[in-house]
């Protein structure tokens, strides 16, 4: 402490003056007790004061003059300094200095408090920094994860786009295909019309004697039946075409478990003619619903079969064959009614010229079927044969396979029967 430095030559008669309100106020106004710097006391041992004055009077005057110059504050400070010299740090025992000590302690307390607050703030800052670091780590993790997800999403998007392009391409292919399929029935009907027209031209040449070709319209009635698949296989292998007069309910017990719609589709796909032989096929005089219940019942049985053929083959049939033959039907319902009903349903009709007579009662063996087919065909002139048989009969199947090569040797070709055929209007039953 600067003001605690020992002073040289303090006046021995200067007594400490008790602290007054004035001095306390002066010190109180000084925040830094250490900065309270008293006025420098005059040098009592100045050289010019030593020389001529040696008597008591002069010393007393000088003493009084000197005392008048000193302020009370300086006196107090000098007293304090004197005490400090004597007591060292015993200043705390002095009333005036106790205030300074108290202020220092207060300051220290404030410093301590500030240090504590600083420590608290530092702790808070450290906590905040740690939280920030944690958040930063989390954000980096999130960012990384987002990046990975983003990359995965980009890959998925790319794959989806590729798949979408493939689907669009496939969709366009399918649209083209659908466009083709939507018109396939019209195209197929047109092709069949063209095909039938060419056959009709050939027939006309045959009838006119301008062609040596013979035509066999081999027909199978009452199917599809248990031999239909085998017959189709044989026809496919040998490049021949036949006609099926189908009936949904005919010969049901003899069919087995054949898939009738599938067989009818295959008949159509292989180029054969699929035609109408009525739904019920019940042509008996007593219990049948074809001819004994009136024209409406007959018409309904034709219509049901017509729907079934169209549903399963895509082609509308237009040739009807009367179960039992037209002559049998005309005996039960007037011919005009029957033909009128058929015309309303879009049908012509046909019987046959030749008949292998493969009914259940006689059930000829294959050789007999073969012999009848080949022999009867020779009797038809012009040589446009309509052969009657049934595709539920196994003997017929074997007889058919023997007859085909033989008929080919006779000059016959096997064609499907269409409504444009010359045979429709010119077929007369020769064998039955």
Q: Does 323 bind Zn ion (CB under 5 A)?
A: yes
Residue number of the CB atom closest to Zn ion: 221
Only segment of 32-40, 213-221, 312-320, 350-358 that touches Zn ion (CB under 5 A):
213-221
- The residue (of 292 and 410) whose beta carbon lies closer to Zn ion is 292
Q: With beta carbons less than 8 A apart as the criterion, state whether 264 and 309 touch.
A: yes
Contact between 412 and 215 under an 8 Å Cβ cutoff? The reply is: yes
In the complex, the smallest distance separating the C-beta of residue 247 from Zn ion, rounded to whole angstroms, is 6
- Please say which residue, 220 or 241, places its beta carbon nearer to Zn ion: 220
Site for Zn ion in 158-187 (CB under 5 A): none
SS3 417: coil
Report yes or no: 79 and 15 within 8 Å, Cβ to Cβ.
yes
Residue 413 C-beta: closest distance to Zn ion, Å: 25
Cβ of 256: how many Cβ atoms within 10 Å?
10
Q: Of 76 and 386, which has the nearer Cβ to Zn ion?
A: 386
Give 226 or 420: the residue with its C-beta nearer to Zn ion: 226
Tell me how far, at minimum, the Cβ of 245 lies from Zn ion, in Å.
7
Residues 6+ apart with CB under 8 A from 382: 206, 207, 209
CA distances from 276 to 306, 326, 346, 350, 353 (A): 7, 14, 11, 11, 18
Residues 394-423 that bind Zn ion (CB under 5 A): none
- Measured from the CB atom, is 241 or 244 closer to Zn ion? 244
CA dist 350 and 426 (Å) reads 9
For residue 251, the minimal CB distance to Zn ion (Å) is 8
222 is an interface residue for Zn ion by CB under 5 A: yes
Query: What tokens were used for 136?
Result: 């930063």
10 secondary structure, DSSP code: -
Question: Among residues 19 and 222, whose Cβ is nearest to Zn ion?
Answer: 222
> Least separation, in Å, of the C-beta of 281 and Zn ion?
6
Which of 221, 306, 355, 358 lies at the binding interface for Zn ion (CB under 5 A)? 221
Cα 137 to Cα 255: distance, rounded to the nearest angstrom: 81
* DSSP code of residue 320: E
Measured from the Cβ of residue 193, the count of other Cβ atoms closer than 10 Å reads: 12
Please give the residue ranges that form the binding site for Zn ion (CB under 5 A). Answer: 221-222, 323
């Amino acid at each position: 402490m600067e003001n605690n430095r020992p002073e040289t030559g303090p006046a021995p008669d200067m007594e400490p003056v008790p602290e007054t309100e004035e001095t306390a106020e002066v010190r109180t106004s000084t925040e830094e007790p250490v900065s309270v710097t008293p006025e420098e006391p005059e040098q009592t041992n100045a050289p010019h004061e030593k020389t001529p004055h040696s008597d008591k009077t002069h010393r007393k005057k000088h003493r009084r003059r000197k005392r008048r110059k000193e302020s009370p504050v300086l006196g107090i400070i000098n007293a304090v300094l004197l005490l400090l010299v004597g007591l060292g740090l015993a200043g705390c025992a002095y009333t005036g200095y106790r205030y300074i000590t108290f202020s220092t302690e207060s300051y220290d307390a404030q410093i301590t408090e500030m240090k504590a607050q600083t420590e608290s703030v530092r702790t808070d800052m450290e906590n905040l920094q740690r939280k920030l670091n944690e958040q930063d780590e989390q954000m980096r993790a999130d960012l990384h994860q987002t990046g990975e997800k983003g990359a995965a999403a980009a890959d998925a998007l790319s794959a989806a786009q590729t798949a979408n392009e493939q689907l669009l391409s496939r969709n366009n292919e399918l649209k083209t295909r659908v466009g083709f399929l939507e018109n396939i029935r019209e195209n197929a009907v047109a092709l069949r019309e063209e095909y039938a027209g060419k056959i009709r031209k050939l027939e006309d040449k045959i009838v006119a004697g301008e062609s040596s070709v013979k035509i066999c319209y081999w027909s199978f009635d009452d199917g599809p039946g248990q031999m239909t698949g085998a017959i189709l296989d044989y026809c496919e292998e040998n490049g021949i075409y036949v006609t099926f007069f189908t009936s949904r309910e005919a010969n049901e017990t003899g069919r087995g478990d054949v898939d009738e719609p599938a067989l009818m589709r295959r008949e159509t796909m292989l180029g054969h003619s699929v035609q109408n032989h009525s739904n019920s096929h019940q042509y008996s005089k007593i219990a049948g619903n074809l001819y004994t219940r009136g024209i409406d019942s007959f018409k309904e049985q034709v219509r049901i079969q017509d729907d079934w053929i169209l549903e399963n083959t895509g082609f509308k049939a237009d040739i009807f064959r009367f179960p039992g033959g037209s002559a049998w039907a005309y005996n039960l319902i007037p011919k005009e009614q029957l033909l009128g009903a058929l015309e309303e349903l879009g049908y012509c009709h046909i019987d046959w010229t030749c008949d292998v007579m493969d009914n259940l009662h006689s059930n000829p063996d294959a050789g007999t079927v073969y012999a009848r087919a080949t022999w009867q065909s020779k009797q038809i002139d012009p040589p446009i044969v309509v052969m009657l048989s049934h595709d539920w009969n196994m003997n017929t199947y074997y007889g058919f396979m023997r007859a085909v090569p033989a008929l080919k040797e006779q000059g016959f070709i096997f064609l499907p029967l269409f409504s444009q055929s010359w045979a429709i209007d010119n077929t007369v039953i020769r064998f039955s």
